Amino acid sequence: MTSLLDRAHTWVVDYVNVRHLERTLDWLLELDPHASEAAQLAALTHDMERHFPGPDEPRVEATTRGWGDPLYNEAHSKRSARIVAGWLREQGADPTLIEHVVRLIEVHEDGGWPEADLVQAADSLSFLETNVEYFLSWIPVGRYGVNRYDIFAKIVYMYERIRPVRARELARPLYDEAVRTILAWSG
The per-residue pLDDT for range 12-68, each reduced to its tens digit, is 999 889 999 999 999 999 999 999 999 999 999 999 988 888 878 776 664 556 667
Q: Largest alpha-carbon pair distance within the chain?
A: 49
What range defines the domain where residue 162 resides?
Answer: 4-184
Amino acid at 19: R
Considering only CA atoms, which of 159, 172, 167 is closest in space to residue 35? 167
- Res 122 pLDDT > 90: yes
CATH of the domain at 165: 1.10.3210
One-character DSSP codes across the chain: ---HHHHHHHHHTTSTTHHHHHHHHHHHHHH-TT--HHHHHHHHHTTGGGGS--TT---GGG-SS-TT-HHHHHHHHHHHHHHHHHHHHHTT--HHHHHHHHHHHHTTTT--SHHHHHHHHHHHHHHHHHTHHHHHTHHHHTGGG--HHHHHHHHHHHHHT--SHHHHHHHHHHHHHHHHHHHH---
Percent above pLDDT 70 for the chain = 92
Q: Could you give the dihedral angle defined by the CA atoms of residues 170, 173, 178 and 179, in that order, rounded to the nearest 10 degrees?
A: 130
The per-residue pLDDT for range 91-110, each reduced to its tens digit, is 999 999 999 999 999 999 99
* Residue 72 burial class via C-beta count within 10 angstroms: exposed 0-12, middle 13-18, buried 19 and up: buried
Amino acid at 151: I
Q: What is the pLDDT of residue 67?
A: 65
| Prediction pTM value | 0.92
Count up the domains in the chain and report the number.
1
Residue 136 near residue 151 (C-beta atoms within 8 A): yes
Distance CA 109, CA 117 (A): 9
